[in-house]
Amino acid sequence: MTDKRDPATILSSARPDADPALGGLTPPLWASDTFRWPSAEDKPAYDYGRTVNPNRDMLVDVLAELEGAAGGALTASGQAAALLALLLVPASAHVVAPHDCYGGTYRLIRGLEDQGRLSATFVDMTDLDAVAAALARETALVWIETPSNPLMRITDIAAVAALAKPAGALVIADNTLPTPLRQTPLALGCDLVLHSTTKAINGHSDLFGGALLAKDAALVEQLHWWANAAGLNAGARDAWETLRGARTLALRIDRQEANASAIARWLAARPEVEIVHYPGLADHPHHALAARQQGGPGFMLSFRVKGSAARFLDALALITLASSLGGHSSLICTPATMTHRGMPPEAQAEAGIAPDLLRLSVGIEAADDLIADLARGLAAI
């Protein structure tokens, strides 16, 4: 392998060589579903688009270099990547997952459990004793998501992986929130890393995609086999557009994170605000771990106001009430009724998701304009 390259350079300079016919600066879109064989005995590198496609491969190569992976699969959504990971789990095997994981992950694991396909234990991953207790049962897969969404709790990836490995479990990290620019879980002992590329990696709120990358080549083989067998691979156009969006990921993340830091500090100083969850704040319970494990505190935060969350939301004029994250524009939501709807109220309560918790994904707008909008909200509560 060559020296570790800077992520901004990797993203910006990906495959200017990919158009030998005309010398275009960016890769062409290979939309063809099928490819010509030189002869019936000679299988070409690319034969059928569900199985292999050059646009997917280019984006996988970029993401794999950023994450330090051997390779992986690009799927039609983040959830398709989660399903692909769960297809590696043998029938009725045990899976350990965070009790405050992404609502869609919770729904998928629970749904498979309800059908008897696996058994799941949901634990507080910030409590290593609870993780160790769950691992007393033979376990096939340990699912990590850090920072957690929406409470921004930080799981110690290296510590959980160190518990899971001797127990013989594969370890996966959902790295959607930090992006590979702020956290590289494979370097901390994980086997697999998952992204919803729908979010910051594409960054333009205009398509769905997912990625599942593996540290070892043997596991990459399995991912390719299952992604093809189950038809989970992404479309060529989405892969092509996602690489286009990802070119500016480093710029966007720097800006979004700077905005989020300014907003978190501003909210924390306001008397109308009950609590702010942001790993960059010194009073965050896992501030030191976040500073050690992540390259930065990220663009997501959550908070509660001392008053009506509904009136707060009504008064906003710039920040949009919508349930995605990581894109160019700032979005706010109430996880209890929106992103975490798939989690029953008891499970929400156990995960610490209060009904009036507000989650903010900070975009690339001017920080002053965002703060003025939040001030409008606070004036209305």
Task: Give the residues lining the site for ligand PLP (CB under 6 A).
Answer: 77-79, 102, 104, 145, 149, 174, 176-177, 196, 198-199, 208, 210, 325
User: What is the enclosing helix (H) or strand (E) of 10?
Assistant: helix 7-12
User: What is the enclosing helix (H) or strand (E) of 350?
Assistant: helix 345-351
Please tell me which residue in 100, 102, 215, 255 is annotated as part of the active site: 102
Q: How far apart are CA 360 and CA 333, in angstroms?
A: 7
- Residue length of the chain: 381
Please say if 199 is a catalytic residue: yes
Whichever of 296 and 377 has its CB closer to ligand PLP, that residue is 296
Q: Least distance from C-beta 194 to ligand PLP, angstroms?
A: 7
Cα–Cα nearest to 234, from 49, 75, 46: 75
| DSSP single-letter state for residue 323 | S
Q: Least distance from C-beta 71 to ligand PLP, angstroms?
A: 20
Please tell me which residue in 100, 124, 156, 174 is annotated as part of the active site: 174
Whichever of 177 and 249 has its CB closer to ligand PLP, that residue is 177
Whichever of 95 and 325 has its CB closer to ligand PLP, that residue is 325
Asked if residues 212 and 70 have their Cβ atoms less than 8 Å apart, the reply is: no
Q: Least distance from C-beta 216 to ligand PLP, angstroms?
A: 23
Please tell me which residue in 56, 153, 182, 199 is annotated as part of the active site: 199
In the structure encoding, which two tokens stand for residue 220, read together? 């990459």
Asked if residues 279 and 298 have their Cβ atoms less than 8 Å apart, the reply is: yes
Please say if 247 is a catalytic residue: no
In the structure encoding, which two tokens stand for residue 20, read together? 């030998």
Q: Least distance from C-beta 307 to ligand PLP, angstroms?
A: 28
Whichever of 58 and 234 has its CB closer to ligand PLP, that residue is 234
Please say if 174 is a catalytic residue: yes
In the structure encoding, which two tokens stand for residue 285, read together? 């319970």
Please tell me which residue in 50, 137, 237, 292 is annotated as part of the active site: 50
| DSSP single-letter state for residue 187 | G
Q: Tell me which residues are annotated as active site.
A: 50, 102, 174, 199
